[in-house]
């Protein structure tokens, strides 16, 4: 769950940076914002995969131990 939340926060930070960069004409900040958003999406996806793996693991445990 932590990775998903951190990913969402990183995406929000990236959107803000991108908006400020766009408003001020700062291409570097705008690019950093886009990079932050991509990192956030990757972290969020990793968190989702981790949760799904944990769910599969838990369901398999339940089947072995009736």
Collapsing DSSP to helix, strand or coil, 66 comes out as: coil
In this predicted structure, what is the pLDDT of residue 26? 98
Tally of CB atoms within 10 A around 14: 20
Per DSSP, which regions of the chain are E strands?
A: none
In this predicted structure, what is the pLDDT of residue 59? 77
pLDDT band at 9 (very low <50, low <70, confident <90, very high): very high
Angle, helices 27-64/2-24, rounded to nearest 10 degrees: 170
pLDDT band at 7 (very low <50, low <70, confident <90, very high): very high
**φ, ψ for residue 26, nearest 5 deg:** -90, 100
In this predicted structure, what is the pLDDT of residue 64? 57
Number of residues that this document lists for the chain? 66
Q: Tens digit of pLDDT for each residue in 23-66? A: 999 999 999 999 999 999 999 999 989 888 887 777 777 765 55
């Amino acid at each position: 769950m932590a990775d998903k939340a951190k990913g969402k926060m990183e995406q929000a930070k990236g959107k803000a940076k991108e908006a400020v960069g766009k408003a001020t004409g700062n291409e570097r900040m705008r690019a950093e914002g886009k990079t932050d958003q991509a990192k956030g999406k990757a972290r969020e996806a990793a968190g989702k995969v981790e949760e799904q793996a944990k769910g599969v693991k838990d369901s398999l445990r339940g089947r072995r131990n009736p």
